Amino acid sequence: MSRESIAQILKKPFAIFTIILLLKGYLAWAVTFGDWLPWRVLITEIPFIWLLFCLIEWCASKRKLMAYTIVNIILTGVFFAVIMYFKYYGVIVNYHALAQVNQVTEVKSSVFSLMDPYYLLVFADIIVLLVLLLKSRKVKEWRISIKRKPKKSVVSVVFILCLVVCLFNILPNRASMNEIKKAQQMGILNYEAYTIFSQKKEPLIPLENIHQADIDKLKGITVPDHPKYFGNAKGKNLIIIQLESFQNFLIGLKIDGKEITPNMNKLAKEQLYFSNFNQQVGQGNTSDAEFVVNTSFYIPPDGAATQRYVDKKLPSLPRLLEQNGYNTLTLHTNKVHFWNREELYSSLGFQHYYDQSYFGEDDLVFFGASDEVLYAKTAKKLQELDREDKPFYAQIISMSAHHPFTIPARKYKMELPERYQGTFVGDYIRAQNYADYALGLFIEDLKQKGLWDDSLIVIYGDHMGLPIYSLDHDDKELMKEIYGHEYSYTDMLNIPLIIAGSGVPHEQIREEVGGQTDIMPTVANLLGVSLKDHVHFGQDLLNQTYNLLPQRYYLPSGSFLNDNAMFMSGSGYEDGTQYPLSGNDSIGKGTTKDEFNRALKLLRLSDSYVNQQPLK
């Protein structure tokens, strides 16, 4: 082929936009799969791109360049969304996440903080092309010259070959459980198309076939007839404090001799502290934690609980406690429509909620009043409720230590060492130091108002704050310094749980593995509230030693934790990976395929049970 022929081919929009999108595909693969020159891009992304280009060559003539530009913009948007979503969540974005787009404006500072400048290069060609189209005479002449359609027979052959290759990439890899591996095997664009057109759902298990005894058997536990500590806090108020992005490594952490969270450290030493506790949230993050803690159900298979389940009248801790004579309320300084919380609280049966309209917009940190305002106004409200004849249940959602953790300078309560200055990890630690300071003020306020001794206090982290995939080299080195080993997935999922009050065993560090589904049954036992007729998927941590915790979203489908290790699925169980629990050097006895199968059954039971609850 002569140079002139090659030059003519390269002038075609088919070739130009192929090269442009191929480079963008390489960037997306580099960020998500850690592979800068993957040969699979050629056999996965290019055939999908050419399918669309063939449709343009078939159908377009006068507006061919516009059609190519539109396809380029759409696929560029897909690649960019994949990059940014992976940096934030560590998972491959799909069309279900579109329901979350309206939340982006609320967390735009978080999104921008994850963006390396070179990511914006994916849009450079679009800007250049638009400028040239408006100002360059040669480009206008070129646009006219490309109107001629190629031979339909040639386009048809290319289309058929590309379709065959796409199907060959998709069909054999459908059974893979690990969504990241599935996207890598199929190709990013094929995977996105597959998630749109694949609507296969497992049939629901009938409600009459879902029994607590079966759930307990799948979990591998036996519930005692006379559980320890039952009713030790009977009649007391319940205060649940959900700490934003608070990970367990902060407990006891000192940097250059300075305690980072002295108030949480004191509670961990003097009260009941669970050190092997883990998050179980998904796409909804904080709102998912609220859902899981108040229901002891697992998150939905896709989307946030506030998108999938809020049309239901859900069995919940607020409803259970209301039946036992409690006032129930939840408090959060943001607007109640954020993450559709107004519907969530209705579904959970909270009698009252307090949002930005109550807390105001003074002393703003990120998108709500500071934790100091949250706790001060909450303490006053709880004091009012305490004057009534019945106890209350209050869930308090802290928020000042929110991603990207760049709190205002007026809130600094510590000086960071030089090596932490200007780092993501340093910002996180300083934000959590402030959150702990505000929590300490609240504890003192509760004690002065006589509420501390008359309440059962539960404190836990809602979800991770430092995802592995959001850390750069310097951040990873700082985490290695803190942990003494490479920061791992089990470290990332590990959050603290502290239970305080006169009715609980004090000065204990409990090493049982637990998760957020376990808070409701543990609290119910201490309050002396029976769960006999209340289906739940957690367990009372004070009366069990073994645990099986299915995970979703932040880990691939099929992943779970037991009391030895964390299992991360591959295509299935056989090619999965096991990791030691946070703080452990080995996986001990590890996990089993039976546990893998039981974890999947538990998830299916939870999905079936929640989806068959009555509408509100």
Residue 599 located in a structural domain: no
Is the domain of 241 the same as that of 325? yes
Which residues, including other chains, have CB under 8 Å from residue 41's CB and lie 6 or more apart? 22, 25, 26, 29, 187
Is the domain of 518 the same as that of 397? yes
Whether the Cβ atoms of residue 532 and residue 493 lie closer than 8 Å to each other? no
Residue 609 located in a structural domain: no
Cα–Cα distance for residue pair 291/285, rounded to 1 Å: 10
- Provide the 3-class DSSP secondary structure of residue 576: coil
Residue 68 located in a structural domain: yes
Place of tokens 């603290």: 496
| Mean pLDDT over the full length of the chain | 89
Token pair of 60 as six digits: 């377009």
> Of the candidates 519, 540, 561, which is a domain's last residue?
540
Is the domain of 187 the same as that of 298? no
> Of the candidates 540, 567, 584, which is a domain's last residue?
540
pLDDT tens digit sequence for 401-438: 998 999 999 999 999 999 999 999 999 999 999 999 99
Backbone angles phi, psi at 580, to 5 degrees: -65, 150
Residue 214 located in a structural domain: no
pLDDT tens digit sequence for 231-284: 999 999 999 999 999 999 999 999 999 999 999 999 999 999 999 999 999 989
The whole-number pLDDT of residue 320 equals 97
Is the domain of 342 the same as that of 441? yes
Rg of the chain, C-alpha, whole Å: 27
Q: How many other C-beta atoms lie within 10 A of the C-beta of residue 573?
A: 18
Q: Is the pLDDT of residue 118 over 70?
A: no
465, 468, 470, 472 alpha-carbon torsion, rounded to 10°: 120
Residue 547 located in a structural domain: no
The whole-number pLDDT of residue 104 equals 47
Residue 251 located in a structural domain: yes
Cis peptide bond prior to 404, omega within 30° of 0 = yes
Q: Is the pLDDT of residue 305 over 50?
A: yes
pTM: 0.90
Is the domain of 238 the same as that of 368? yes
User: What count of residues does the chain have?
Assistant: 616
- Which class for 71: exposed (0-12), middle (13-18), buried (19 or more C-beta within 10 A)? middle
Is the domain of 419 the same as that of 496? yes
Domain that holds residue 112: 3-197
Q: What is the per-residue DSSP string for 11-51? A: TSHHHHHHHHHHHHHHHHHHHHHS-SS-THHHHHHHHHHHH
Is the domain of 187 the same as that of 289? no
> Of the candidates 494, 520, 540, which is a domain's last residue?
540
Q: How many other C-beta atoms lie within 10 A of the C-beta of residue 148?
A: 8
- Which class for 553: exposed (0-12), middle (13-18), buried (19 or more C-beta within 10 A)? buried
Cα–Cα distance for residue pair 242/349, rounded to 1 Å: 18
What proportions of the chain, in percent to the nearest 5, are helix, strand and coil? 50, 10, 35
Query: DSSP state, 513?
Result: -
pLDDT-derived band of residue 61, with 50, 70 and 90 as boundaries? low
pLDDT tens digit sequence for 447-478: 999 999 999 999 999 999 999 988 999 999 99
Backbone angles phi, psi at 487, to 5 degrees: -60, 130
Sign of CA dihedral 261, 515, 394, 102: positive
Cα–Cα distance for residue pair 41/188, rounded to 1 Å: 9
Is the domain of 250 the same as that of 192? no
Is the domain of 105 the same as that of 170? yes
Is the domain of 148 the same as that of 280? no
Residue 321 located in a structural domain: yes
Token pair of 294 as six digits: 């108040």
pLDDT tens digit sequence for 69-109: 899 999 998 998 888 888 877 888 887 665 555 554 454 45
Residue 373 located in a structural domain: yes
Place of tokens 């979503």: 85
Is the domain of 259 the same as that of 138? no
- Provide the 3-class DSSP secondary structure of residue 541: coil
Token pair of 412 as six digits: 């600094």
Is the domain of 258 the same as that of 110? no
3-state SS string over 307-331?
HHCCCECCCCHHHHHHHCCCEEEEE
Q: Is the pLDDT of residue 151 over 80?
A: no
CATH number at 438 reads: 3.40.720.10
Single-letter amino acid code for the residue at 598: R
- Total domain count for the chain? 2
The mean per-residue pLDDT over the stretch 549-554 comes to 94
pLDDT-derived band of residue 205, with 50, 70 and 90 as boundaries? very high
Backbone angles phi, psi at 60, to 5 degrees: -105, 150
